Amino acid sequence: MRTLDTSDLQFQESAFPWGERGALAQGFTATEGRLGLRATRGQVEEAVTYIRNRRQELEAAREKDLMERESRKLGKCVDGKQWVSEHVVSQLVSMGFNREFAIEALRNSNNVIQQAITLINEQPELLRRQLTSTLIQQITELGFLRNMAKLALRNNNFNLERAIEELTANNGCIDGEGSLSQ
């Protein structure tokens, strides 16, 4: 087994002029520093640019992946070709629309924001019926009774998360019109 001597250490320092301390001082990990310097053949200025660009690319890829996963959770549009866009849902919610209604409207309008707004404003009952059946199905899949799911949704303005929280907090039983049709 060969041991390191001072000439090996000098080579390492000259091959990587930053060293680990320099990379860390720049806000990079030692691994990023080595990778950047190798990619740019030891050019420190280019390595900094390379690492920053790589970080931005990785962050953009993470965000894109997250948005795609969120869109898949929201389901497909009626055309069956595209997922409901989380980005467009966020836009509608920021305009003051109920999140669940926005999702249902976008599903019916194939992510066309103007058509979704028109649906919400002009045909809320159609959306409410579609939304109610979809949300009730999601809640009953969690093990709650259908009539309790309906009550929880009505009590919470069709907000799925709040309805589930209410059902969970009350062990699945909510006081109210227990005779709702199933």
How many separate helices (H) and strands (E) can be counted in the chain? 10, 0
Fill in the DSSP letter of residue 83: B
Residue 179 has pLDDT above 60, yes or no: no
* Residues 47-103 pLDDT 10s: 889 999 999 999 999 998 988 888 788 888 888 889 898 889 999 999 999 888 899
Using a cut of 0.85, tell me whether the model's pTM lies above it: no
Taking phi over 0 as left and psi of -120 to 50 as alpha, with beta for the rest, 40 belongs to alpha
How high is the pLDDT of residue 180? 44
* Residues 106-136 pLDDT 10s: 999 999 999 999 998 998 888 888 778 888 8
Can you tell me whether residue 176 is helix, strand or coil?
Answer: coil
